Amino acid sequence: MNTIKGPAIFFAQFMDDRPPFNSLDGLCKWASDLGYIGVQIPTTDPRLIDLEKAAESQIYCDEFKGKINSYGLEITELSTHIQGQLVAVHPAHDIMFDAFAPKHLKGNFKGRTEWAIQQMKHAAIASKRLNLKAHATFSGSLLWPAVHPWPQQPKGLIDMGFKELANRWLPILNVFDENGVDVCYEVHPVEDIHDGDTFERFLAATGNHKRVNILYDPSHFVLQQLDYIQYIDHYHEFIKAFHVKDSEFNPTGKKGTFGGYNDWRDRAGRYRSPGDGQVDFKSVFSKLTEYGCDVWAVLEWECVIKSPEQGAREGAPFIQSHIIEATQRAFDDFAGAEIDNEQLKKILGL
């Protein structure tokens, strides 16, 4: 068994134009003062990291890592959730997802995809230069509009979608493999990898590529009404990253899983700050520890009620209180007696 590392925090939801949230130094000092010891770094904001330079320069990476370490922090993973999303976008979502594209590529959907793929390759190399073993991202989606089969899905559509998704990701996965880094897909609604079955479909489509792994976030499973504890039983060997995020699902006679197009506050399923929702984190941490998952516990804050500042303040002690120091001995092995085969035979009457 392994002791989960942490507490750590994902900076993406805390970036802002006001200090201390508008610079790497400001965020690092803020996080360190709150008790965090790890940080997950989004890679689309140049105020935090220049991803292309990180892929090109070991000196840049050493200085970047040194700055973070100077605040008593470690880098848990780099994140390319935005770029991963743009690797595969269904035409129905092209215009909305164009909000995430660089200005010079808006409206150029093919060029946007090529940019995203190159960004992912930069992230693989940068991760190696930073001595990271895991990377956090999204899979993107070509099939989400077909998630509910109406009209009926033409035969072969789903297989073709996963084949195309795998074809886009295989060159990226190979670069990650060359650099010794696991790709951890956050299993998430609106991604083609959104549960266990879809993860297995993608894994098979890539030929069981060894770099295909999972970023486990139980909050998304509550909204899908999927057994997030049993999920660990099925996929623990693939879980290489972990987001600590809470959620709740309170269906009524008017709304359920699909949410009725409501804003987050008014949906049956909504995200909450850790400890305020329905996720059984004691069981989650126990299972991950039991299976020896070598992960950082990273706070991903999203809540429709609580402020991000309060969520961050409460997040570090919440995670720390759930981390289990994995035992190195059996609780009933107090005698420490050596095995005596002759004695064993006597006990059995042999």
Distances (CA, A) of 301 to 219, 232, 246: 11, 22, 8
Exposure b/e, 215-252, CB count within 10 A at least 16 = b: bbbbbbbbbbeeebeebbeebbebbbbbbbbbbbbeee
CA distance 228 to 285: 12
What pLDDT, in 10s, does the model give residues 94-124?
A: 999 999 999 999 999 999 999 999 999 999 9
Residue 199: give the domain boundaries. Answer: 5-347
Residue 308 in tokens: 């991000």
Q: Answer whether 135's CB lies under 8 Å from 183's CB.
A: yes
- CATH number of the domain at 309, please: 3.20.20.150
The residue with tokens 């930073």 is 130
Work out the pLDDT band at 335, boundaries 50, 70, 90: low
> What pLDDT was estimated at residue 41?
98
> What pLDDT was estimated at residue 339?
80
The total number of structural domains in the chain stands at: 1
List residues bridging with 78 in a β-sheet.
Answer: 41
* Close Cβ partners of 311 (under 8 Å, ≥ 6 residues apart): 273, 274, 299, 301, 303
CA distance 236 to 229: 10
**Dihedral (CA of 281, 284, 287, 292) sign:** negative
Quote the mean pLDDT of the chain. 96
Query: Of 104, 69, 136, 173, whose CA–CA distance to 300 is shortest?
Result: 136
Residue type, 52: E
Using DSSP, state whether 9 is helix, strand or coil: strand
What pLDDT, in 10s, does the model give residues 34-83?
A: 999 999 999 999 999 999 999 999 999 999 999 999 999 999 999 999 99
Residue 281 in tokens: 């984190």
